[in-house]
């Protein structure tokens, strides 16, 4: 998702944009498609930045890039970090208590996004923000390049907590959508007419609008992968347990995604949940 997001940012001629990907050929491909320069994180202090935007796989990737490889050394005093990854609250604590972050008065924003790869490409992501109010006007202007909705939820952690809510809601929606489609197909209904009949009623959702027809066609190559959803649901359920919440649907859907992953479907997008109903 970071690839097209950086592409939208590159269109802002007021920015001196520098990009980096941990996979070298991805950076080279981006350079061919957009204008920018590659940052060599082996020498992070060669350039001093006003801000840093990250979009990585998980906690370990963020810690590796920011702390182990010392990318935070490339930030100026009073700079900011926008992290669009989906992470745990533990990761946020590690970052905001880091001595370099504190000494330089760096503003950190946990800013996970929703909308998938399509949203990143179209510049229509929804961003949920946790962090301080200082610098927020600046980061909001930057995020407008690739986001249609930018909401400051509250202090650090509230962005990730909101993403946990988001993922639990999505998990239940996809399971319900899968079961409804399975019944319709088993009943030999005209599923295009079924879609027309229900998509403007109470069952309507983003998942229905964007995945109903592709699920019918067994097409599951639309970005956000099963393995990433497993990671996100584990984070959500861990936090729910700490709050004494027993989320039956979330736990049940997690087990189904884990089954998909075990059988080799971990790289398919999350709508592939319906495959378990056709086995």
Q: What is the pLDDT of residues 69-82, one digit of tens each?
A: 888 998 999 999 99
- 3-state SS class at 39: coil
Q: What confidence tier does 37 reach under pLDDT thresholds 50, 70, 90?
A: low
Same fold, 2-155 and 161-277: no
Q: Is 227 in contact with 267 (CB distance < 8 Å)?
A: yes
Place of tokens 């981006």: 30
pLDDT at 40 over 70: no
User: Is residue 216 predicted with pLDDT exceeding 60?
Assistant: yes
Q: Can you tell me the mean pLDDT for 33-58?
A: 77
Q: What is the mean pLDDT of the chain?
A: 92
Residue 211 has which token pair? 């995945």
List of residues 6+ apart from 193 with CB closer than 8 A: none
> Residue 165: is its pLDDT beyond 70?
yes
Question: Does the model's pTM come out above 0.85?
Answer: yes
Mean pLDDT of the 7-30 span: 86
Please tell me the distance from the alpha carbon of residue 98 to that of residue 121, in angstroms, as a whole number. Answer: 33
Give me the mean pLDDT over the 28-57 stretch: 78
Residue 213: HSE in the Cβ half-sphere, 13 Å Cα cutoff: 7
In 3D space, the residue among 13, 14, 104, 106 whose CA is nearest the CA of residue 54 turns out to be 106
Residue 108: strand pairing partners: 81
Strand partners, 120: none
Q: What fold is seen in the domain 2-155?
A: Rossmann fold (3.40.50)
What's the pLDDT at 125?
96
Q: What pLDDT score does 22 carry?
A: 82
CATH assignment of 161-277, given 1.10.1040.10, 1.20.1440.230, 3.40.50.2300, 3.20.20.70?
Answer: 1.10.1040.10
More confident residue, 245 or 36: 245
| Residues annotated as catalytic (active site), given as ranges | 163
Q: What is the DSSP string of 202-236?
A: TT--HHHHHHHHHHHTT---SSSBHHHHHHHHHHH
State yes or no: pLDDT of 67 exceeds 80: yes
Residues 6+ apart with CB under 8 A from 109: 80, 81, 82, 83, 129, 130, 131, 132, 136, 139, 156, 159
Give the tokens for residue 134. 């200082």
Handedness of CA 177, 180, 183, 189 (dihedral sign): negative
For residues 153 and 159, give the distance between their C-alpha atoms in angstroms, rounded to a whole number.
Answer: 6
- In the predicted structure, residue 145 carries a pLDDT above the cut 60: yes
Of 113 and 31, the structure prediction assigns the larger pLDDT to: 113
25 falls in which pLDDT band (50, 70, 90)? confident
112 phi/psi in degrees, rounded to 5: -60, 155
125-130 and 113-114: which strand pairing?
antiparallel
For residues 186-198, average pLDDT: 97
High-pLDDT (> 90) share of the chain, %: 78
Provide the pairing of β-strand 37-38 with 147-154.
unpaired
Whether the per-residue pLDDT at 103 is higher than 70: the answer is: yes
pLDDT of res. 271: 96
Query: Measured between alpha carbons, how far is 79 from 135 in angstroms, rounded to an integer?
Result: 9
- pLDDT-derived band at 28 (thresholds 50, 70, 90) equals confident
Q: Exposure pattern of 62-72 as b/e (b: 16+ CB <10 Å)?
A: bbebbbeeebb
Domain boundaries, the chain: 2-155, 161-277
pLDDT in tens, 217-252: 999 998 789 999 999 999 999 999 999 999 999 999
pLDDT-based confidence at 38, cuts 50/70/90?
low
């Amino acid at each position: 998702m970071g690839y097209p997001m950086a592409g939208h940012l590159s269109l802002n001629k007021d920015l001196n944009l520098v990009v980096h990907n941990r996979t070298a050929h991805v950076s080279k491909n981006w350079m061919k498609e957009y204008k920018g320069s590659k940052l060599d994180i082996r020498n992070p202090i060669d350039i001093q930045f006003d801000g840093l935007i990250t979009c990585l796989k998980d906690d370990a990737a963020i810690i590796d890039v920011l702390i182990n490889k010392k990318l935070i050394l490339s930030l100026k005093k009073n700079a900011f970090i926008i992290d669009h990854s989906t992470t745990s609250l533990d990761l946020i604590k590690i970052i905001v208590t880091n001595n370099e972050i504190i000494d330089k008065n760096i503003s950190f924003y946990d800013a996970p996004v929703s909308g998938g790869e399509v949203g990143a490409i179209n510049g229509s992501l929804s961003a949920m923000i946790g962090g301080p109010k200082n610098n927020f006007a600046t980061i909001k202007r930057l995020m407008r390049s690739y986001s249609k909705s930018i909401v400051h939820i509250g202090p650090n952690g509230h962005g990730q907590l909101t993403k946990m809510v988001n993922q639990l809601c999505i998990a239940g929606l996809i399971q319900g959508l899968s079961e409804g489609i399975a019944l319709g197909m088993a009943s030999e209904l005209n599923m295009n007419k079924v879609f027309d009949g229900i998509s403007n009623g109470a069952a309507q959702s983003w998942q229905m609008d964007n995945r109903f027809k592709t699920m019918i066609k067994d097409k599951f190559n639309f970005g956000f992968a099963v393995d990433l959803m497993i990671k996100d649901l584990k984070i959500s359920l861990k936090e729910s347990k700490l709050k004494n919440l027993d989320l039956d649907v979330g736990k049940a859907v997690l087990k189904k995604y884990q089954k998909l992953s075990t059988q080799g479907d971990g790289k398919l997008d999350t709508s592939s949940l319906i495959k378990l109903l056709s086995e």
